[in-house]
Amino acid sequence: MITGASSGIGESACHLLLEKGYEIIAGVRSIADATKLKTAGGPSLHPLIMDVTDEIGMKTARDEAVTIIGNGTLVAIFNNAGIVVYGAWLYIPIDKWQQQFEVNVIGVIRTTQLFFPLLSVPRQNGDTHPRRVINMGSVSGLFASPFIAPYAASKYALEALSDSLRRELYMYDIQVVIIEAGNIATPIWKKAKQTPSYFGAEYDTILAFKDQMIDGLIAKGMPLKAVNDVVIKTVMAKTVKTRYLVRPQKWKFNFIRLLPTKWVDRLIHRNLQKRSGIRPF
């Protein structure tokens, strides 16, 4: 079962896992997306309307999933749905902070609580397939860049949620995995260009520079294959790690995280000054 399956990582995972012989319950937010997926995926793909912020709608989707699964078994919950709220910490409206956490954090909790009973049913007939809860994290859950504070905070929260759940499921034969993806070429950043940004006057040069920065992220984004291989592994492999960091030059990223915070802040400030003209007050 995959949330956020309309595009990007979720859509790609649907098709990959179909090729591996799985049946897929795909969470989408519109009839149009459901039709598109069904047309491409055929009888083994079952799109369901899933807005992870809608309690009643998610319960309805869970009940529909029970019917679809029948005497089968759910082998993985892939919590992939997510959004990005972009702007300056001081100016992002409270309702946008709430929206970010409703989708990226509460949505994961809601989905996992509702669908977990379908994952934890007793094994039958020699079933040895691994069962997993897979959470789509981000390097932003390890390193908080400026101007994406709500998104980074939600992904830091997902790290903690994954750790706690993994440690609480010791009595089940179910693993919890978090994929800490770097910048992947998906529609999430294009959507960020189309949504409002929240800045004060002191950030005018950043606001003017916003689309260029996002275009840079899109241009430098890793191909979907970089995360596809990890998704397949987390679903199918007999043994898995608790975390999978997916980004180029992992050593450099891990090294920067070891540097003193003041050094890292200075590097970021110099980069902002160089690229956008922002100067300290």
Residue 45 is assigned to a structural domain of this protein? yes
DSSP, residue by residue, 39-90: HHHGGGEEEEE--TT-HHHHHHHHHHHHHHHTTS---EEEE-------B-TT
Supply the range of the domain harboring residue 162.
8-182+222-248
Per-residue model confidence (pLDDT) at position 250: 87
What CATH number has the domain bearing residue 41? 3.40.50.720
CA–CA dist 148, 62 (Å, integer): 32
* 84 vs 113 pLDDT, higher one: 113
Residue 68 is assigned to a structural domain of this protein? yes
pLDDT by residue (tens digit) across 200-231? 888 877 776 666 666 766 667 788 888 999 99
Arithmetic mean of pLDDT over the chain: 90
Per-residue model confidence (pLDDT) at position 24: 97
Examine the residue annotation and report whether 151 is marked as an active-site residue of this protein. Answer: yes
Per-residue model confidence (pLDDT) at position 190: 67
| Cross-strand bridge partners of residue 179 | 136, 244
Q: Residue 267 carries which side chain, given as an amino acid letter?
A: L
Which ranges in the chain belong to alpha helices (H)?
8-19, 31-41, 55-69, 94-101, 107-119, 149-168, 187-194, 204-219, 225-236, 250-258, 261-276
Residue with token string 């089968």: 72
- Is residue 270 packed enough to be buried (19+ CB in 10 Å), middle (13-18) or exposed (0-12)? exposed
User: Is the pLDDT confidence value at 281 over 50?
Assistant: no
pLDDT by residue (tens digit) across 69-99? 998 899 999 999 999 898 899 999 999 999 9
Maximum CA extent, the chain:
69
Residue 33 is assigned to a structural domain of this protein? yes
Residue 93 is assigned to a structural domain of this protein? yes
Closest Cα to residue 181, out of 79, 86, 277? 79
Marked catalytic residue, from 22, 86, 151, 156: 151
User: Is the pLDDT confidence value at 252 over 90?
Assistant: no
CA–CA dist 103, 95 (Å, integer): 12
Question: What is residue 98's three-state secondary structure?
Answer: helix
Rg (CA), the chain: 20
Residue 187 is assigned to a structural domain of this protein? no
CA–CA dist 42, 271 (Å, integer): 48
| Residue 131 phi, psi (nearest 5) | -120, 135
Q: Per-residue pLDDT averaged across 27-49, rounded?
A: 96
Residue 210 is assigned to a structural domain of this protein? no
Q: Beta strand 76-79 with 131-138: parallel, antiparallel or unpaired?
A: parallel
Residue 268 is assigned to a structural domain of this protein? no
CA–CA dist 246, 184 (Å, integer): 9
Q: What is the pTM of this model?
A: 0.90
User: Is the pLDDT confidence value at 280 over 50?
Assistant: no
Per-residue model confidence (pLDDT) at position 201: 84
In terms of average pLDDT, the best of 108-117, 179-188, 242-251 is: 108-117
Residue 209 is assigned to a structural domain of this protein? no
Q: How many structural domains are present in the chain? A: 1
